[in-house]
Structure formats: structure tokens, C-alpha cells
């Protein structure tokens, strides 16, 4: 799908402009169908013998768009020539009344490798992904690891970009940006199946999806190193269990930690009813984590995109409803593979 749009001044002659373009499509032996827009501008489709489809739309506000769809194996040179001809014709017809011209890069639908993934704030990003290196469904989620020429292997869980081998800034941010001394400390990590935090920390317990471990152990070694080769080392233990009952058990036993690092999930984007359970889970994890935190301890977690200010404000309201009063600070970090600024929180008991 190739998109070309023109935005012209309102005094431009729409019928003359459309008629001028029709001659080009006729030369391409494309069949025209005009659609009734009930007074909302002009809309026509043109279908060629080679499977090409062009959608021509003109709005009352002076926006003209041309969407050209072609099949795999189509002659790209011919397609580019058609677009160039259309653009030249429009510039001639509109006599300099053009405010803006934009041709977007081609979008590829139905490719063997999906290159398009949304950001948290709703923008569509095209990654330079060239192959899928791992794709499995666990009992909890779909797990993909895809190779990017720019970012290395990227872990994607249920369609959500989690971590790439290039994303050391994420790991550093969720561990305090090098300001903490973990030597000899007890650290509890919730989530973190990619092994990035585990590779950086000293003494920890982790709760993750076994299949995430399996995939990352093989395909994310630049992030996790060799720490996932064994689930127990001299100074760490990986527990593949539901973290909630384990946290409750620690609370009952009075076990505490110097640091709790929550890498389970980002703050929910909306407060719609379908997100209620996620907010409840988030509050439960927060409350239990603060209870197992030592008086001088710190709780680290990710927030969400820096653009989601309302969502982050709601999360900060949640911090005021915990069973124990807390203070917090936040830091905005650029995570390479996210292609957006990301907010991280440090929380401690008052």
C-alpha cells in the first residue's frame, strides 16, 4: 500500500482536478467506479488488470488522497512511474495552490515477517525486522523473538515489545541508573524473564514464564548472558511460579528485601472496565512488594510512555492508596527499541 496525499487551497477546482487524473488511469486501462459520498467530497476506485487498486478521495476541506495497492510481484518501476506521473499532473492542475504534498513509504500487508508494531501512545512503527527467530505459545502468552538489524533480537510478548538486546538503558533505569550498590544485598525481581536484570544484579529471586526463559536463554544472550543457563547460581535462584502467593508467603513469614524490582507489566494505558483487573493486579503487587521491603529499601518499576501523562498520573494516585505511606521519584529514559521515551519509578517507605 502506497499513500500519496495533497492538501490544496480551497479555491482549487475539484472537478477539473479529478478529470485530469482520470485520463491517467484510463491510459493505465484501469476501470473506474465512482461512489456516492452523500455530499462529502469525491470518492472513486480504479482497478487494473494486474490487480492494482487505486482509491482516489477528495474531501470538502481540500485534502486529496491517492492510495495505491499492488500485489507481490508487481513491476515496482511501473508503480513508481505511475505515482510520479500523478504527482506531476496534480502539480500542473493545481497551479501552485498546493499547501503540502506527502508520499508515505510503502506499507507491506501479509508479509511472512511482521515489521509493524504500535508504540504505547498509539503510533505505528515499522521496524527493520528481517526474520523470526522464535515463536511459541505458552499457557500464558505468545512469545516472539524477532531479529532487527538495528536493535538485535527483540522479545515481543502478546504483541507488546518488551526488550531488545540493545536496550541496556531499560535495564539500567529499572535498577536505579548505577546509583545503587547491590553487593551483599537481597534483591527480589518480579518478572524479568528476559534475564537482563538478572545478568546485572547480585542476589535475587525471580518469578517468570518458563517458556520466556527458554526462548531468551537461546536467542537473547546479548541481554542475559549465561545467567539463564541454570536456574540456581551461587548468589541467585530463579523460581518459575506465580509471584502473588510467594509474595503473600514472604509477608506472612516476615521476610524482607533490600530491593524489589517489578518488571512484570507496564502501567495500563486506559481505565476502561476491561483494564480494571490489570489495575487491581498492579495495586496488589505494589502493596505486597512494599510490605516485603525493608525500611531503607527501594522499589523500582517501569511506568509507561512519557506521553501518557494521564495514565501516569493515575498510577501516582495509586501510590497514595497503599497500606504503607510512600514517596517516589521518576526518571524519563530513551529505550532504543521502544522508539519513545519511557518513565521509570523509584518508590520508598516514608
Q: What is the DSSP letter of 107?
A: P
Q: Give the full edge-to-edge strand order of the sheet including 42-47.
A: 31-35, 42-47, 53-58, 63-69, 2-8, 98-103
Report the distance separating Cα 220 and Cα 198, nearest Å: 13
Positive or negative, the CA dihedral 161, 116, 339, 121 is negative
Asked if 193 contacts 227 with a C-beta cutoff of 8 angstroms, the reply is no
Catalytic residue among 263, 276, 287, 327: 263
Q: What is the distance between the alpha carbons of residues 155 and 274, in angstroms, rounded to a whole number?
A: 25
Are the beta carbons of 339 and 300 closer than 8 angstroms? Answer: no
Give yes or no for a contact between 243 and 206, defined as CB atoms under 8 angstroms apart.
Answer: no
Query: Dmax of the chain from CA atoms?
Result: 81
Question: Which three-class secondary structure state does DSSP give residue 202?
Answer: coil
Look-up: residue for cell 496488589? 284
DSSP one-letter string for 179-200: ----TT--EEEEE-TTSHHHHH
Q: Are 147 and 153 in contact (CB under 8 A)?
A: yes
Q: For cell 507488546, name the residue.
A: 160
HSE value, Cβ hemisphere, 13 Å, CA-based, for 345 = 24
Using the structure block, give the residue that is written with the C-alpha cell 480504479: 46
DSSP secondary structure string for all residues of 241-278: S-HHHHHHHHHHHT--EEEEEEES-PPPS--SGGGHHH
Active site residue 263: yes
Active site residues: 263
Amino acid at each position: 500500500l502506497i499513500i500519496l496525499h495533497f492538501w490544496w487551497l480551497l479555491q482549487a477546482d475539484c472537478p477539473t482536478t479529478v478529470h485530469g487524473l482520470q485520463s491517467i488511469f484510463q491510459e493505465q486501462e484501469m476501470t473506474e467506479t465512482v461512489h456516492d459520498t452523500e455530499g462529502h467530497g469525491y470518492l472513486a476506485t480504479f482497478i487494473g488488470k494486474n490487480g492494482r487498486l487505486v482509491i482516489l478521495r477528495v474531501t470538502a476541506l481540500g485534502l486529496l488522497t491517492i492510495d495505491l495497492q499492488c500485489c507481490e510481484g508487481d513491476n515496482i518501476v511501473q508503480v513508481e512511474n505511475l505515482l510520479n506521473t500523478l504527482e506531476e499532473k496534480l502539480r500542473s492542475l493545481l497551479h501552485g495552490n498546493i499547501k503540502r504534498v506527502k508520499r508515505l513509504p510503502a506499507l507491506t500487508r501479509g508479509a511472512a515477517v511482521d515489521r509493524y508494531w504500535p508504540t504505547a501512545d498509539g503510533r505505528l512503527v515499522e521496524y527493520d525486522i528481517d526474520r523470526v527467530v522464535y515463536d511459541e505459545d505458552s499457557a500464558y502468552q505468545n512469545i516472539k523473538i524477532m531479529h532487527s538489524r538495528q536493535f538485535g533480537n527483540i522479545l515481543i510478548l502478546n504483541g507488546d515489545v518488551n526488550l531488545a538486546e540493545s536496550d541496556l538503558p531499560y535495564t539500567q533505569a529499572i535498577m536505579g541508573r548505577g546509583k545503587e550498590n547491590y553487593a551483599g544485598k537481597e534483591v527480589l525481581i518480579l518478572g524479568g524473564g528476559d534475564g537482563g536484570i538478572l545478568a546485572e544484579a547480585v542476589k535475587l529471586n525471580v518469578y517468570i514464564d518458563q517458556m520466556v526463559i527458554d526462548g531468551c536463554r537461546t536467542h537473547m544472550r546479548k541481554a542475559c548472558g549465561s545467567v539463564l543457563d541454570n536456574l540456581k547460581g551461587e548468589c541467585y535462584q530463579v523460581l518459575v511460579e506465580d509471584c502473588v502467593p510467594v509474595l503473600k508467603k514472604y509477608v506472612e513469614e516476615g521476610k524482607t528485601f533490600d530491593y524489589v524490582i517489578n518488571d512484570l507489566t507496564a502501567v495500563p494505558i486506559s481505565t476502561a472496565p476491561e483494564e480494571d483487573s490489570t489495575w487491581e493486579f498492579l495495586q496488589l503487587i505494589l502493596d505486597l512488594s512494599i510490605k516485603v521491603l525493608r525500611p531503607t529499601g527501594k522499589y523500582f518499576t517501569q511506568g509507561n510512555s512519557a506521553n501518557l501523562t494521564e495514565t501516569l498520573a493515575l498510577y501516582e494516585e495509586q501510590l497514595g492508596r497503599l497500606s504503607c505511606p510512600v514517596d517516589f521519584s521518576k526518571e524519563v529514559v530513551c529505550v532504543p527499541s521502544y522508539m519513545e521515551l519511557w518513565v521509570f519509578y523509584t518508590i520508598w517507605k516514608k
